[in-house]
Amino acid sequence: MLLHALTRLMHSKLTQLMHSKLTWLMHSKLTRLMHSIKSAITVSGGDYTMTNKERFMTALSGAQPDSVPVWEMGINEVGIIGIAKHFTENVPEVKLIHEMNLQEQMQLLMAYKVLAEELDLDGFTMPTLTGREDLGNNLVKDKLQIVTKITPHGEPFPVEGPIREPSDIKTYKMPKPDESFLTAVQFAVANFKDKKAIVLHSPGTFKLSWCLRGKMEKLLIDYIENPKFACELAQMVTDFCCQLFSMAFDAGVDAIILEGDLAMNTNTIMSPAHYREFIKPYHAQIIETVHKKGGKIAKHSDGNLWPILDDLIEVGFDGIHPIQPQCMNIKEVKEHCGDKVCLMGNIDCIDILPNGTIDDVEKAVKETIEIAAPGGGYILSSSNSIHPGCKVENYIAMVRFAKKYGKYSDSGSVKNVMKPQVNTD
């Protein structure tokens, strides 16, 4: 009753402030405060278990849920089939999705749904679908006229874009997003609305800009030789993203994971100055659009983000993913960021999940939770995605260890749970 009363009070105050022309930034802060009040009562009261969606969104708001949420940005076809086989026999033959017929694609979707239910994942991620025209030789072209080569592991790598020269932007027509871009989201909403957090995985300003150019290095050269064009391209792409994301939230999405690496293992891909000039202002527009819709947005980037980490926080991202352990120490990141942003990921998918033992996985999960989870604002996932090299047994163990070790105590620390026996069958 106290929880409901305080929630109603905060909602009333929030509505009054919004009607008095309060900025979207204050709206975000008050929303975070509501999550904090709710989570504080939840943890101390002990008589309420959050839904998967509540748990995920509370942590993404920087607050403390009842336990550490578990989520994954992406799972490859091979991973979905291999994991789902532990829970159902209704899985397609192992192949890439563009090689599957419609029946097999539906089996794959249902297998993904089953594993999310059986493993009790708190978030369910679906990609933006931009269509695929088969050009042969593992080449496909999407509705944006970007040609990608599909690797043997199913990864699409852009090889040609429609804006080959800066002058091409005058004749290129960026398509307007429609419902077909959100077909996968519709599946998620139909199955998990208000149960799990529905997360849209979609490229942002930098990724889309260089894909339209065909090569990343072209865009990086544009930052130096054609800065006006680079800004024009960024604005066109950002307008597309804002339209798409507005539609996504209207369709039932709860959060965005904005893909597109900004860094390598040692440093950022572009200079911090170029990030601030050519990307950050457009990130700000996307974030404002998302927050005005009442949603959350996290930035994905592998690599060493230290040179622009404060910029990502300042511009308003709610989460940073995946804190790659080869490049960033999550203890240092947690100490630096505090409660200003939710940290996501960090369980090593380069070495531990592909090559480690179950004991290695347990150690990584337990240590990461002990470091990143206290006080809230942490969502556990791999350090990128569950790719074909990851052992299925290790992924299942990662999730189950997270459920065992991720319970919060009344003080906000993580409970010291005895070593669980993990069955990966």
Structure tokens at 311: 């910029």
Of the two residues 168 and 151, the one the predictor is more confident about is 168
Look at residue 30 and tell me whether its pLDDT is greater than 90.
no
Residue with tokens 């308003």: 316
Q: How would you classify residue 72: left for phi > 0, otherwise alpha for psi between -120 and 50, otherwise beta? A: beta
Check residue 159 and report its DSSP letter: E
> Residue 414 pairs with which residues in a beta bridge?
408
Check residue 380 and report its DSSP letter: B
Distance CA(81)–CA(99), nearest Å, equals: 15
Distance CA(244)–CA(75), nearest Å, equals: 23
pLDDT of residue 42: 43
List CB contacts of 215: < 8 A, sequence separation 6 or more.
158, 161
pLDDT digits (tens, 9 = 90+) for 157-193: 999 999 999 999 999 999 999 999 999 999 999 999 9
Q: Torsions phi, psi of 156, nearest 5?
A: -85, 125
Assess contact for 72 and 381: CB atoms under 8 A: yes
Calculate the dihedral angle through the C-alpha atoms of 191, 300, 53, 20, rounding to the nearest 10 degrees.
-120
Assess contact for 148 and 199: CB atoms under 8 A: no
DSSP one-letter string for 241-288: HHHHHHHHHHHT--EEEEE---B-SSSBSS-HHHHHHHTHHHHHHHHH
Residue 84 amino acid letter: A
> Residue 202 pairs with which residues in a beta bridge?
258
CATH of domain 64-405: 3.20.20.210
pLDDT of residue 14: 35
pLDDT of residue 414: 81
Distance CA(192)–CA(211), nearest Å, equals: 32
Q: Reduce the DSSP state of residue 75 to 3 states and report it.
A: strand
**pTM listed for this prediction:** 0.88
Distance CA(27)–CA(98), nearest Å, equals: 42
Residue with tokens 């004749």: 171
Check residue 176 and report its DSSP letter: P
- The tally of CA atoms less than 13 A away on the side-chain side of residue 55 is 26
Assess contact for 300 and 322: CB atoms under 8 A: yes
Confidence label for 24 from pLDDT (cuts 50, 70 and 90)? very low
pLDDT digits (tens, 9 = 90+) for 287-312: 999 999 999 999 999 999 999 999 99
Assess contact for 316 and 23: CB atoms under 8 A: no
Confidence label for 32 from pLDDT (cuts 50, 70 and 90)? low
Neighbours of 105 (CB within 10 A): 15
Look at residue 421 and tell me whether its pLDDT is greater than 70.
no
List CB contacts of 40: < 8 A, sequence separation 6 or more.
64
Distance CA(103)–CA(110), nearest Å, equals: 11
Look at residue 22 and tell me whether its pLDDT is greater than 50.
no
Check residue 327 and report its DSSP letter: T
Assess contact for 414 and 381: CB atoms under 8 A: no
Distance CA(315)–CA(317), nearest Å, equals: 6
pLDDT of residue 47: 60
> Residue 344 pairs with which residues in a beta bridge?
379
Identify the helix (H) or strand (E) that includes residue 330. Answer: helix 330-337
> Residue 390 pairs with which residues in a beta bridge?
none
> Residue 139 pairs with which residues in a beta bridge?
136, 149
Mean pLDDT of 99-127: 97
pLDDT digits (tens, 9 = 90+) for 358-413: 999 999 999 999 999 999 999 999 999 999 999 999 999 999 999 999 999 876 77
Structure tokens at 31: 């929303």
pLDDT digits (tens, 9 = 90+) for 327-350: 999 999 999 999 999 999 999 999
Confidence label for 3 from pLDDT (cuts 50, 70 and 90)? very low
Residue with tokens 């043997």: 152
Q: Reduce the DSSP state of residue 360 to 3 states and report it.
A: helix
pLDDT digits (tens, 9 = 90+) for 48-79: 899 999 999 999 999 999 999 999 999 999 99
pLDDT of residue 280: 98
Q: What's the first-to-final CA gap in the chain, in angstroms? A: 41
Assess contact for 347 and 365: CB atoms under 8 A: yes
Residue with tokens 């089939």: 81
pLDDT of residue 269: 98
Instruction: Compute CA distances 264 → 52, 269, 299, 324, whole Å.
Output: 33, 6, 15, 10
